[in-house]
Structure 1
Amino acid sequence: MISFLPTAEFAAALDEQDALRDFRQRFHLPLAPDGQPSVYLCGNSLGLMPKAARAAVEAEFESWETQGVEGHFHGTSPWMHYHESLTDSAARLVGAKPVEVVVMNNLTTNLHLLLVSFYQPNTTRYKVLMEGGAFPSDQYALESQVRLHGLAPDEAIVELVPRPGEHTLRTEDIEAAIQELGESLAVVILGGVNYYTGQAFDMEAITKAGHAVGANVGFDLAHAAGNLEMHLHDWDVDFACWCSYKYLNSGPGGTSGVFVHERFANRPDLLRLAGWWGHDPADRFQMKKGFRPMTGAAGWQLSNAQIFPMAIHRAALAIVDEAGGMAALRKKSEKLTAYLEFMVRQLELPREVLEIITPHDPAARGCQLSMLVHKNGRALFDYLAGAGIIADWREPNVIRLAPVPLYNSFSDVQRVGEVLARWASV
């Protein structure tokens, strides 16, 4: 393991050795109050704009301008099949087969569509297991889903909470809760990475435990896609969905990805909400009654592709592929986040002042550190902003810092340490 130093010279040396250092130039960096590029550590909320994004969308504007409706069928990227150009990259991103993924809609829409299929409770198997304090959209989605089946959320939804005095969940406690619920458990749905703490869950172990009691297992990968190296197919995950505007840098409100395991690829009997774009393309335009889903995840589509968001997403995914995919990004990410943790811990601040609540184990976290600031947390957040460091504030007193491997540098992290040291000395 490398021995870190807190100096600017040491950070510069790490940047010089970084095989991904040039990808930083592919993104627009917001400027700090002094007119210099900011240290942008908010990619877990909204990723930076790729410089290729504008040209990607302009190309589709030109097709619309010059071809009108014929843009669906002609040009370099006909809109009729545009979403298919994202499939291979999306599959590599999450460790899936192409038949198992599709890009469509937005995240919470897709979560609802998947829950229609994979949460079908009966009188004995009706419970949902989720993390306590999950992102509100997930909470609202599950509350409404159980109500659609005439159930009460307080009875049907079981929330996992950490042990007293701890901030994150233990895998053995998740597995124990699954086993205890047993045949009453219909579905397990967790975030791949918890948005608040930055904890990465052991998705393979959780999936295995859920299947052992007969439950379906799915994940909201909003904070995992583009952050963790995943193998959803090999882990036997039933379903998953993710957004593209955080670590995937595809613009505010960007399009979403869906994973449905291959074993459901040819299950036209599986209940779902249907739309014409998920219908068998062989006779889609005959406009007949009687829905016949496409094979694989594509059979969950409702409407035709959102071309402009997808154009940005395609440009952003191309950068991930060019960088060597998630294996290469994750390698740098673990080192970058470890350096950030070093810079915070070397300040030796008492836990009563500042506490890192993200797991120390690199395998149990993404590229995020959540700092619990027990006193004057908002003042520290504002102090960082004034120094040109863009972080993320979460009520009541957590500052999230996300060093993203595509565009953050070790010098960025070292600068954060310097600013924190000045704050601590006041």
Structure 2
Amino acid sequence: MKVNSYILLIILFLASSFDAFSLFGIPLEWIFTSIVIFLGAFLIKPKLFKKFNYLKIWAVFIYICSILSCLFVFTYGGDLKSLYPSNTTTGYWVYIILRYLTLVLPIVAILLFINLSQLQYNRLNRVIIIWGGVIALYSIYSYLAVIYDLPILSKSRMSTSGGEQKDFYANYIINRATGTFREPAFLGAWLLLPFFVSLKVKSIISFTSRSLIILAVLLTGSLTAYITLFLSLIVYFVLKAIKESSTVVKFISKMAGAAASVLIILSFVLYIFINIAEVNLEYYTDFIWNRVKPIVYGMEIAETNRADPYKYIIENGIPWIGNGPGNANLLLTQFKGSSTISSFLNIYINYLFAVGILFSPILIAIFIYPLWLCVEKFSKITPQVISLYVSMLIVGSALNQEFSIALIYSICFIIYESKKGTFQSNLSY
């Protein structure tokens, strides 16, 4: 089989769904990301790079980061070992190289997307929809398997806390689905990509996949996923109504129809949720309220790990000159006294520490440019793609501290549709 952009993008997407697995101590996602970047370099046409200002912004961003990383190493010198926690599977330089892989990957992915024909682009969407349904189905199965003592895949990657991964969350009122991911929230965030892509296609398979995804997201118990899905759906329905309506009356009728559709799907999912997944609805609502209450009343947040990055910022401030990707995490880890590398749980704060206040405009440009494209090419870009990108921006503020595959693909979708036209919702299965 000939390796092309289409195959590499499928491999990258599939690999991202095996977050909880590793081979010889190396996460599968890292292995396949490295392979895709290496092979993708041979498929990329250099002349395409010059045609996209967005890629030039990325190049400048990586260049600045590399200089700042060198300055950080020069400043700390022999003290780097004392900064790097002991309970890790890689050394300092491997850790830093992996940080740069996540920065190079968006450039490679965008150039691979541009190489796609319309047929390949349509097929990639189809793969995303079907595989998203498969992962959602397995997540539901593994949720039930823990309860009924059925066999599940053995997770081999170290958990985010540095220990073994767990499939049962005994410290919560209800269990939480993790599927093939290390954390419930990671599963919920990843499923947003196939969910919004599935909204492009009207078919039984697409509807089934979408319903399974909603159920799996509900079972994660991830407040981030709930809020993101809710807000992004509002954006989607508003954009869809605007595009399809020529008058205010039509706009209102479209919104009413959208609300009715949501209620029908939600009723279907809740039926499965209660009768098949056997979730106690009273326990579930109590669980959600216990997670929302600290946010509503400002209680207990300071006692969670989500407050640590902000405590660090209050005490140390944001530097004018950054430390380069990954290094601020080591300083945060030292601040917390943790045995594993700490996360900022916020992509904007993480990269703000990487480049500093002085170079923050280039960071802002990376996130704003796709939105600007959505406005400029509004007639070409589908509401599903815009809503997907909005959902990734929200997730970035509360969970992911680096560029996830879902975020990268949402950017790629925007650029592809703005340059080569939109994906047509006429696929049959």
TM-score by length of 2: 0.29
